[in-house]
A and B are shown apart, each in its own frame.
Chain A
């Protein structure tokens, strides 16, 4: 997103995560226009330091479904971020929270669809040849 000209701020509780951001960048993350804050999405000070108050969009993609669901709601209800998306691996929780107005992406569902498509296509090719 940074490459596409957006301003990107990352929040992670692990300071080492910063190194990962610089993989395949020829300059540092900061010199490329990025921002990095150490903290968790449940800490309001960390969210504020990361600039949530002027964010156009907020993506909750920690490795915990419940954490993502909660911080997405904080971003939306407390900080009024216009666009909020949460990564939820569990399809059942993703579906229900989706209906409650939390924008959700369920990688599990996406992967299942892709795998299914891939298997069916391969089978189709196999049958026709």
Chain B
């Protein structure tokens, strides 16, 4: 992010408050909006004029905070409907360039998508991703998802009995829409394979792929037996 942006944050909970602190430190102009009087008074002691008291889903409160000149609106209240509404009016009524919404209940994710509110951040989903990374049984780990660009990067550990262990990269017949981009090997770190690189059991392979090909890749890199995936 460039310098001197004006950012409005709805909600002065732990997320909003710390976000404000970080952004102020980085030299941005920030206004936090909080509708709980006690919380407002607590946070105001530190943030002073950078926090306003009010309900950020009320249009006049957003206008008082100067939404028309805001470069970004971040809605991190504990209420998903409020976050959706704030982002929707920020984007569609006040034509704010960038919005970020917090999803409290992951089951509400489809609603954020339906209303075109993106990007959104869900703590539950982030923790699930980390779990995926920590628990090898999952087999396939998402490193990056760019649904807009229809692109994913995944990582997979080749098991002892992987079908592709011992094969040359050049001889791999990767599923269409996927590409092997890197190999992480014990003792060698990460490297970009050549067609002559031979895959070994224990390698972690990184591949870029079209969304929806995960299962196919799981089978492709999976074990020889019926227990694939």
**B60 CB contacts on chain A under 8 angstroms:** 92
Q: Of A43, A67, A78, which one neighbours B81 at CB under 8 angstroms?
A: A67
Contact check, A74 vs B111: say whether CB atoms are below 8 A apart.
yes
Contact bitstring B120-160, A, C-beta under 8 A = 1, else 0: 00000000000000000000000000000000000000000
B73-87 interface with A by 8 A CB criterion: 79-82, 84-85
- Chain A: interface residue count, which band? 10 to 19
Cβ of A102 to closest chain B Cβ, rounded Å: 11
Q: Of A43, A67, A90, which one neighbours B107 at CB under 8 angstroms?
A: A43
Contact bitstring A70-107, B, C-beta under 8 A = 1, else 0: 10011001100000000000101100100010000000
**B57 CB contacts on chain A under 8 angstroms:** 65-66, 93
Q: Within 8 Å of chain A (Cβ to Cβ): is B115?
A: yes
Cβ of B153 to closest chain A Cβ, rounded Å: 31
Q: Within 8 Å of chain A (Cβ to Cβ): is B48?
A: no
Q: Within 8 Å of chain A (Cβ to Cβ): is B36?
A: no
Contact check, A73 vs B108: say whether CB atoms are below 8 A apart.
no
C-alpha gap A82/B92 in the complex (Å): 23
The number of residue pairs between A and B whose CB atoms lie closer than 8 Å in the complex comes to 41
Closest partner residue, chain B, to A70 (CB atom): B81
**B115 CB contacts on chain A under 8 angstroms:** 70, 73
**B111 CB contacts on chain A under 8 angstroms:** 42, 70, 74
How many B residues have CB within 8 A of the partner chain? 19
B47-103 interface with A by 8 A CB criterion: 57-60, 79-82, 84-85, 89, 92-93
Provided the pairs A67-B81, A70-B81, A92-B59 are in contact, do residues A78 and B107 lie with their beta carbons within 8 angstroms?
A: no
Closest partner residue, chain A, to B60 (CB atom): A92
Contact check, B81 vs A100: say whether CB atoms are below 8 A apart.
no
Q: Within 8 Å of chain A (Cβ to Cβ): is B195?
A: no
Cβ of A73 to closest chain B Cβ, rounded Å: 6
Contact check, B58 vs A70: say whether CB atoms are below 8 A apart.
no
Cβ of A121 to closest chain B Cβ, rounded Å: 31
Contact check, B82 vs A96: say whether CB atoms are below 8 A apart.
no
Contact check, A96 vs B59: say whether CB atoms are below 8 A apart.
yes
Provided the pairs A42-B81, A66-B82, A70-B84 are in contact, do residues A100 and B92 lie with their beta carbons within 8 angstroms?
A: yes
Contact check, B79 vs A66: say whether CB atoms are below 8 A apart.
yes
**B92 CB contacts on chain A under 8 angstroms:** 100
Closest partner residue, chain A, to B82 (CB atom): A66
Q: Within 8 Å of chain B (Cβ to Cβ): is A44?
A: yes
Q: Within 8 Å of chain A (Cβ to Cβ): is B110?
A: yes
Q: Within 8 Å of chain B (Cβ to Cβ): is A69?
A: yes
C-alpha gap A100/B115 in the complex (Å): 13
Contact check, A74 vs B58: say whether CB atoms are below 8 A apart.
no
**A66 CB contacts on chain B under 8 angstroms:** 57, 79, 81-82, 84-85
Q: Within 8 Å of chain B (Cβ to Cβ): is A33?
A: no
Provided the pairs A77-B114, A92-B59, A96-B93 are in contact, do residues A70 and B85 lie with their beta carbons within 8 angstroms?
A: yes
C-alpha gap A78/B114 in the complex (Å): 8
**B58 CB contacts on chain A under 8 angstroms:** 90, 92-93
**A65 CB contacts on chain B under 8 angstroms:** 57
A28-83 interface with B by 8 A CB criterion: 42-44, 64-67, 69-70, 73-74, 77-78
Cβ of A65 to closest chain B Cβ, rounded Å: 7
C-alpha gap A42/B81 in the complex (Å): 9
